[in-house]
Structure 1
Amino acid sequence: MPTAIITGASSGIGLATTLKFLSQGITVVGVGRDQGKLDAVSAKTRSHSADFLPFAADITDDAAPLEIVKHATKKTGRLDHLVNNAGVGSPEPVHSTDDETLDRFLGLMLRAPFRLAREALTAFGDTATIVNVSSTYALVGGLRGGAYSAAKAGLNGLTLHMAAQYGSAGIRSNAVAPGVIPTPMTEHRLEVEAFRRMNYDMTPAARWGTAEDVAEAVWFLSSPASGWINGQVLAVDGGWSSTKFLTESALSSERNDQPADWTHSGKRRT
């Protein structure tokens, strides 16, 4: 059975992607730091025909990438897909980012994916896929991006390099760049009205995106249906990064008198 390694598999986009891959008959080696959360995913996925194989690790540890790949190949005898999803939010502007924070962001969202991809290349067969979960904040300039935007932009560059270097060996590399998705990582930021409005009022789609929206894109880029797609960065953001859109409420002078209904499930356009 085909096997995928998915990092950050216990919550948010990683969990949705894990469930999608399992539904397609792909064995998932789900990587996360919290064994308890991984065990909860195992309990949730027992009814699937494909196996969920939890692996608790901090992917920034020097030994972790090799251990993860060895675990996957030992358990299943193969490796077909890598999804570099694990991330961290709440960045600060450059002037207020200390070296420790910079190293943490780059280590988790650029160095670790680089090293995981390097190990996966030794285990892949004749056909394989790598999908890196990037961000719209690596595609456009934005406030507060700092080390987060730098790491994600580096991940896009890594994706394009691998597409060129290893495409002829049957290994396709693409990236998915989600907009702001309500997940445990972003929920505290979405409590800030200015942040909600910046993302909501400038998105043509009439709803918030979901982790499942992103998971569908990751699966598509990992599946045979995208067999002629290589070296692409696909924005999954409802049009936020590619349009100059504002809601009617954002344009209205009565906006402050009639605030929008800010919920995670939808929105009111007035």
Structure 2
Amino acid sequence: MKSAIVTGASSGIGLATARAFLENGVAVVGVGRDATKLDAARASLADLPAPMVTLAADITDDDAPKRAVALAMDEFGRLDHLVNNAGVGSPEPVHSTDDATLDRFLDLMLRAPFRLCREALTAFGDTATIVNVSSTYSLVGGLRGGAYSAAKGGLNALTLHMAAQYGSSGVRSNAVAPGVIPTPMTEARLEVEAFRRMNTDMTPAAGWGTVEDIANAIWFLSSPQSAWINGQILAVDGGWSSTKYLSETALSAPREAVEPDWTHSGRKRAEGTPDRES
């Protein structure tokens, strides 16, 4: 039985991804920080065709990659897939990001995936896949991106390097860049009208994406059906990042009704300088 490591597996996109692998007969090592949440996740997936084991660990810890890969090998005797999903939200622009936050974002969303990729390479067989969960905020310039965009942009670059370096050895590397998906991590931000409308009014597809939409894309890029796909960053965002769409509501609304308070930069402007060119 093939096996996969999925980080951030206790909720949201990670939990949906674990389900997708298990439904397709692939065993899962689910990694997360909260043992209680991981136990609940495993229990909720217990009736699926493949087994799931869990590892409660902070993936930024020095020994976390070795522990995750060792667990896969001990339990299932092989490792075929790696999904680097764990992340953190609530980004801030550069001028309001302190060094501790910068280090935390880079550590969790770039250094940890790098080290997990490196460790997984020691266990992969003749064919394997890596899918890194990036973000649309690494594809377009987004307000408040800051350290988050920097980390996810680095993750894209890592994906492309891995595809080039190891593709000929049978290891395919791709990334999925989700749009804003309603999850426990984003629920607070989605209560802010400006942020919510920035997504709904600029997305040509109706409604919100779901964690299953992202999980299905991750599974596809890990499955034999995508055997000729390598080194791609797949945006799953309803067209938000690739179109200039605006809803009729946004087009007809007064500027002050839709412009967020945080559009202005942290730089001081000279008195009398307009906010933007007219």
Letter in 2 for 1:218: I
Give the drift of 1:256. Answer: 9.3
> How does the TM-score come out when normalised to structure 1?
0.93
Give the drift of 1:22. Answer: 0.5
- CA separation in 2, counterparts of 1:185 and 1:226? 29
Give the secondary-structure state (helix, strand or coil) at the position aligned to 1:175. Answer: strand
Q: Is 1:170 matched with 2:170?
A: yes
Letter in 2 for 1:67: R
Give the secondary-structure state (helix, strand or coil) at the position aligned to 1:6. Answer: strand
Any conservation in 1 of the 2:177–2:236 contact (CA below 8 Å)? Answer: yes
Displaced runs of 4+ in structure 1, greater than 3 A? 253-257
Q: Deviations over 1:104-152 (max 9, x none)?
A: 0000000000000000000000000000000000000011000000000
- CA separation in 1, counterparts of 2:150 and 2:171? 25
CA separation of 1:80/1:181 partners in 2, compared to 1, >3 Å: closer, same or farther?
A: same
- Correspondence list, 1:121-140, <5 A: 121-140=121-140
Gaps of 5+ in 1: 258-270
Work out which of the two has the higher radius of gyration on C-alpha atoms and give 1 or 2: 2
Any conservation in 2 of the 1:249–1:255 contact (CA below 8 Å)? Answer: no
Letter in 1 for 2:221: L
Give the drift of 1:207. Answer: 0.8
Quote the residue 1:240 is aligned against: 240
- CA separation in 2, counterparts of 1:45 and 1:174? 26
CA separation of 1:246/1:126 partners in 2, compared to 1, >3 Å: closer, same or farther?
A: same
Give the secondary-structure state (helix, strand or coil) at the position aligned to 1:30. Answer: strand
Quote the residue 1:14 is aligned against: 14
Letter in 2 for 1:93: P
Give the drift of 1:185. Answer: 0.5
Count of paired positions: 257
Q: Is 1:51 matched with 2:51?
A: yes
Q: Is 1:216 matched with 2:216?
A: yes
Give the drift of 1:254. Answer: 7.9
> How does the TM-score come out when normalised to structure 2?
0.91
Give the secondary-structure state (helix, strand or coil) at the position aligned to 2:43. Answer: helix
Give the drift of 1:98. Answer: 0.6
Quote the residue 1:263 is aligned against: none
Q: Percent identity?
A: 77
Give the drift of 1:253. Answer: 4.2
- CA separation in 2, counterparts of 1:36 and 1:206? 35
- CA separation in 2, counterparts of 1:151 and 1:79? 26
Quote the residue 2:181 is aligned against: 181
- Correspondence list, 1:71-220, <5 A: 71-220=71-220
- CA separation in 1, counterparts of 2:157 and 2:143? 21
Q: Deviations over 1:5-62 (max 9, x none)?
A: 0000010000110111100000000000000000001111111120011110000011
